[in-house]
Amino acid sequence: MPASTHPPFQSHITRPFVSTLDAASHANRQDDPNYYAEDPRSLISTSTIHSLITGTGDAVYRSLAPLLESTNHELILVTCFWARSSSLETLNSILRKLSDKAIRRGSEKIQVQLCFSSLSLFQKLFHKQSVTGQTYPPSVWVKKLGLPDPSELGGLELQVKSIFLLPFCVMHPKFMVIDRQTVILPSCNISWEEWFEGCITLAGPIVDKFLRFYKTFWARGKTHGLQGASIGEGMTWQADNVGKSDLGHGSIVNYFSSAAKQSEISDIPTVFLPSPHRRNPRFQPFASTERVVAPPTPLNAFVLTLFAKADKTIRIQTPILTAPPVLSSLLKALERGIDVTILTSERLMVLEQLVTAGTTTSRCIRKLIKRYKKLTLRNSRVSSDEEAVISAPQPGRLRVSYFEPINGPRPRGEEEGEPQQSHLKMTIVDDEVLVLGSGNLDRASWFTSQELGVAFFDRQLVKGVENVVDEATNGRSKLVYDSGDAEG
């Protein structure tokens, strides 16, 4: 076998990250997928960023429609939750247009792979308990999945598959691959929830990492569905102009490239971060957060390394925050003098939080603030000891907010496009490293669910993402605690 080659990129983050995975190689070989266990450096790649989109899931899918409709040979779509919704209606319209395109050109059919994990409680309880999953014949597409009638999709070679393992093994990643050229990485499912979401589109060598993940887990090594006669030919859709468009209700589309101008955010160091599922939830309800050890998956290892190596700031936007290793790591960062800013949702999927974690985000936030106050109090008590003050840094600033829709929450069906909760998963450290993907900072994502994240090392991208997210969430949060305030 020829020796593998890797990008020369190394940093104070990637070196300890790779070392952690090297040390965990034996444990990670038991995972599925596990191809990175023997060669964690193979997760390091590069990418070129094309666009960033925010807004509700429905708004994101509508903004993505032109790009998805540009598919010429193959569309892979992986999501977690599948439900009848306006986003599904948008997808159905896209599928019909792709079918018509293939029929008009009279060449090979367009290959479409639809993969999901969760459809309903009944589906999960009686789902085939195997990682090979189960496929859905055309006869059930309309009634069970809400897809168009097969007679409307004659130009597609369409396959639909789901994988779910009891008790809590949901396959949580969300991504799309167009013609092996472009990756779409959204935070949203195909679902009805009016939540604040984010989506980034990218290309370059990182695409091969997504394809390998898909082939290994979802296709189980069977690549016949990926063989297209002319895949790689032609150009995917490009925006007319570079720039930002505000569509209202937090829906912003920012194109970093266009048909006339290439992206300036190109060939940036990028790390692919899978996190395999586990059927054993490892509940330790009475253990302290310091003693709860998360599985050493690439995503978990990278995030913990990122927090441990932070030099100035940590910014987090997550739907749920209940993972003990995350809370412990954030407190240690604050103790080192790192400023931590958190935007989360106060009442998102509370029942699921109680079932999978035995606690809730609001409880964990209260506990984090309480522990932080003890930390600052302890620091103030030693302030009279000059040597102690010099050796111990001042605790970093802690700022916590909850996402809140403009004009307050609204009942289902009356949202009128206004996002009701935040579902974006975003971590930024030192204005230099950005992590996006499916992983929440909750116990389910860290211990049982399959997740997928991507880390980008580029200050220009970080600044662009922060500007868009800040604009989209402006006026949509309420401050819970700020140690920088006099009353904090």
CATH classification at residue 331: 3.30.870.10
329 and 258 in a single domain? The answer is no
Residue that terminates a domain, selected from 270, 292, 307: 270
In three-state secondary structure terms, 12 is coil
279 and 253 in a single domain? The answer is no
282 and 219 in a single domain? The answer is no
Asked whether residue 286 is domain-assigned, the answer is: yes
316 and 465 in a single domain? The answer is yes
Whether residue 126 is predicted with pLDDT greater than 70 in this model: the reply is yes
291 and 411 in a single domain? The answer is yes
pLDDT of residue 7: 47
Q: Which domain holds residue 122?
A: 50-270
For the chain, the average pLDDT equals 91
Question: Do the Cβ atoms of 176 and 119 come closer than 8 Å?
Answer: no
Question: Do the Cβ atoms of 415 and 195 come closer than 8 Å?
Answer: no
188 and 302 in a single domain? The answer is no
294 and 253 in a single domain? The answer is no
Backbone angles phi, psi at 306, to 5 degrees: -60, -45
Say which range, 73-82, 103-112, 229-238, has the weakest mean pLDDT: 229-238
pLDDT of residue 363: 94
Q: How many CA atoms lie within 13 A of 473 on its CB side?
A: 26
Residue that terminates a domain, selected from 251, 270, 289: 270
Asked whether residue 62 is domain-assigned, the answer is: yes
pTM of the model: 0.93
254 and 282 in a single domain? The answer is no
Two tokens at 73? Answer: 């040979």
Question: Do the Cβ atoms of 357 and 442 come closer than 8 Å?
Answer: yes
196 and 330 in a single domain? The answer is no
Residue 441's pLDDT band (boundaries 50, 70, 90)? Answer: very high
Residue 36's pLDDT band (boundaries 50, 70, 90)? Answer: very high
Q: Give residue-wise pLDDT tens across range 396-437.
A: 999 999 999 999 999 999 999 999 999 999 999 999 999 999
Average pLDDT over residues 304-312: 97
Residue that terminates a domain, selected from 270, 286, 315: 270
Cα 28–chain centre separation: 21
335 and 320 in a single domain? The answer is yes
Burial of 108 from C-beta contacts in 10 A (0-12 / 13-18 / 19+):
middle
Asked whether residue 34 is domain-assigned, the answer is: no
Question: Do the Cβ atoms of 361 and 344 come closer than 8 Å?
Answer: yes
Q: Give residue-wise pLDDT tens across range 233-284.
A: 556 899 999 999 999 999 999 999 999 999 999 999 999 999 999 876 565 5
Q: Give residue-wise pLDDT tens across range 188-242.
A: 999 999 999 999 999 999 999 999 999 999 999 876 554 444 455 556 899 999 9
**Cα–Cα distance between 13 and 104 in angstroms, integer?**
50
Asked whether residue 9 is domain-assigned, the answer is: no
Asked whether residue 77 is domain-assigned, the answer is: yes
Asked whether residue 17 is domain-assigned, the answer is: no
Two tokens at 445? Answer: 């994502």
Whether residue 388 is predicted with pLDDT greater than 80 in this model: the reply is no
Whether residue 384 is predicted with pLDDT greater than 70 in this model: the reply is no
In three-state secondary structure terms, 116 is strand
CA-wise closest residue to 449 among 191, 221, 164: 164
290 and 239 in a single domain? The answer is no
Say which range, 228-242, 249-263, 362-376, 452-466, has the weakest mean pLDDT: 228-242
Split into its structural domains, the chain has a count of: 2
DSSP assignment of 380-440: HHTTT-HHHHHHSPPPPPEEEEEE--TTS---TT--TT---EE---EEEETTTEEEEES--
Max Cα–Cα distance, the chain, nearest Å: 82
